[in-house]
Structure formats: structure tokens, C-alpha cells
Amino acid sequence: MDNVQTGMPLLGDRMPEFTIQTTHGMKSFPKDYSGKWIVLFSHPGDFTPVCTTEFVAFAKREAEFKKLNAELVGLSIDQVFSHIKWVEWIEEKLNVKIPFPIIADDTGNIAKKLGMLHPGKGANTVRAVFIMDPNGIIRLIIYYPQEIGRQVDEVLRALKAMQVADANKVAMPENWPNNELLKDKVIVPPAKDMDTAMKRKGEKDSYDWWFVYKSL
């Protein structure tokens, strides 16, 4: 395998373009989602307990992602028939409808392009999350091992924080909007020259010239 196939994309890279079968028909990425944020997440396999709990959590929060102009898309290297049967099982047994498409990457080509296959874990995809902005640029990547289920609220929080940061040209503190120091305040970009740094010294909403915050 060459490096292009197996290399993991970096933050700021454009999502590779591909057309693939999903449970909602053929989809072209990221073209079919132009103008929207995309949350693409992979799971090791259908009919597995941890993955099932994650899909239930994503499904229950789909409306919150849509409020942020974001679309959810799942992926594993199972065939589409397996995806369909698993989605049917979740609805029948757990009373939860999976409203988003699941990519059937049965050749593994997409997983290879996105670095979702771990050499020590066989053919199963890891628990990866890619968030792409409306221009198809990868803005966030989170990887979990197969044994650890994701915290879906954290994915939602990170998406919301990124959008607020973009809109206001600010940085977001740990666990925004519930940071222990700043609560829901945001961080002003650090001063880049001496004059600005000195003006910021002693400002009310600051700890120092390099640590200034504000309310939105």
C-alpha cells in the first residue's frame, strides 16, 4: 500500500472526494453536503455493543447537530446489507431510529485514505471522528481505541465551540461554555506587539496581557 492510501489527513486538509454506497443511497463527498458541516464518524463493526450505544447517542442528538447546520454520517467496512439489518435491529429492539446515512466501505478504500485502519487491530476501523466545515476542510479529528466508547456530547460541544470561535475570531477555553475559570467567556487572541501588550496589562477582564477574556 502506498502512503497516499494509508496516510491520515491533517487538520486544514481538504476531505478527499469520493462517491460511495450508504444506507441512504449513493453519496458524493463532500459535494452532496456543500454549505454544511459534516460529522463523519467510523465504528469498528455492526452488531457490536459499544458501537450500538454510540449510534443511539448520535441518533438522539441529531436534531441538535442539525441546528448547527451539521450532518451526521457513519462509516464502517461492513456491507450495506449489514448496516440495514443493524439499523433495523436498533429500531426494533431499542426503539431508536437511526436517521443519518451509514457508509458501506466494504472495500476499505475510504478507511485507508482517512487512516481509520489500525495495523494492530485487523480489518476493523477505529472510532474516528472527522468534522469538516462547509468548505470541505477538515477542522477536527478525534481518535478512540476500539475498547472506549465516544462521548457524543463532546463532539457536539466541540462543533459548537468551533463555530463560535470562527464567528468571533476568538479561542475557546477548556470545556467551554462551562470552564472552571472563565465559565462561558471566550479568550481574546494574544497581543502580537509591545504596544498592544502594554495596553492590555491590568485590564479588568484579564489575568495578564497574554491572557485576556471577554463575554460574547
The catalytic site residues sit at 51
Cα dihedral angle (78, 72, 155, 96), rounded to 10 degrees? Answer: -80
- Check if the beta carbon of residue 182 is closer than 8 Å to that of residue 213: yes
Strand, helix or coil at 156? helix
Q: Alpha helix locations (H) across 2-79? A: 3-6, 49-60, 62-67
Lateral strand order in the sheet of 37-42:
25-29, 18-22, 102-104, 70-76, 37-42, 127-132, 138-144
Q: Which residues contact 216 (CB under 8 A, 6 or more apart)?
A: 164, 168, 170, 184, 185, 186
Neighbours of 32 (CB within 10 A): 17
Name, in order, each residue with C-beta under 8 angstroms of 53's C-beta and a sequence gap of 6 or more: 149
